[in-house]
C-alpha cells in the first residue's frame, strides 16, 4: 500500500481515507486497536463479538423468525420431556 498523508486535528482526530475504510470494512462504530512500535503507529481492526457470531446459527436453524421460533419450541418440548 502506498503511504498517504493525513492531518491531525486540534482534538487529535485523523480521518482515514475512504478507500482504506472500504477495503478494511471499517464502518462508523468499528473498533480499531492502535499501538506504537518505535516511531510508527499501527492500526488494526478488531472484529466485534457479534460480528464473529453473525451467521453462526444460520447453518443449524436458518435465519427466518419462523425457523427460530420452531427451533425454540422444539427445544422447550425436549426439556419438558426430560
CATH code at 37?
2.10.260.10
CB neighbour list of residue 39: distance below 8 Å, 6 or more residues apart? none
Residue 15 and residue 32 in one domain: yes
Q: How confident is the model at residue 79 (pLDDT cuts 50, 70, 90)?
A: confident
Q: Give yes or no for residue 16 having a pLDDT over 70.
A: yes
Residue 28 and residue 54 in one domain: no
Residue 38 and residue 57 in one domain: no
Query: Distance between alpha carbon 80 and the CA centroid of its chain, in Å?
Result: 37
Residue 24 and residue 42 in one domain: yes
What residues make up the domain containing 34? 1-46
Residue 9 and residue 39 in one domain: yes
Q: Give yes or no for residue 59 having a pLDDT over 90.
A: no
Q: Give yes or no for residue 73 having a pLDDT over 60.
A: yes
Question: Domains in the chain: how many in total?
Answer: 2
Residue 19 and residue 31 in one domain: yes
Distance CA 17, CA 52 (A): 25
Distance CA 23, CA 30 (A): 14
Give the tens place of pLDDT for each residue, 32-49.
999 999 999 999 988 766
Residue 42 and residue 9 in one domain: yes
Q: Which of the two residues, 80 and 45, has the higher pLDDT score?
A: 45
- Provide the whole-model pTM: 0.54
CA distances from 23 to 1, 2, 6, 52, 69 (A): 11, 14, 17, 18, 37
Residue 25 and residue 9 in one domain: yes
Amino acid at each position: 500500500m502506498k503511504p498517504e498523508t493525513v492531518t491531525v486535528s486540534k482534538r487529535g482526530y485523523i480521518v482515514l481515507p475512504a478507500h482504506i475504510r472500504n477495503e478494511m470494512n471499517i464502518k462508523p462504530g468499528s473498533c480499531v486497536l492502535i499501538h506504537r512500535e518505535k516511531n510508527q503507529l499501527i492500526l488494526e481492526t478488531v472484529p466485534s463479538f457479534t460480528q464473529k457470531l453473525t451467521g453462526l446459527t444460520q447453518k443449524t436453524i436458518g435465519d427466518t423468525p419462523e425457523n427460530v421460533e420452531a427451533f425454540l419450541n422444539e427445544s422447550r418440548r425436549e426439556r419438558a420431556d426430560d
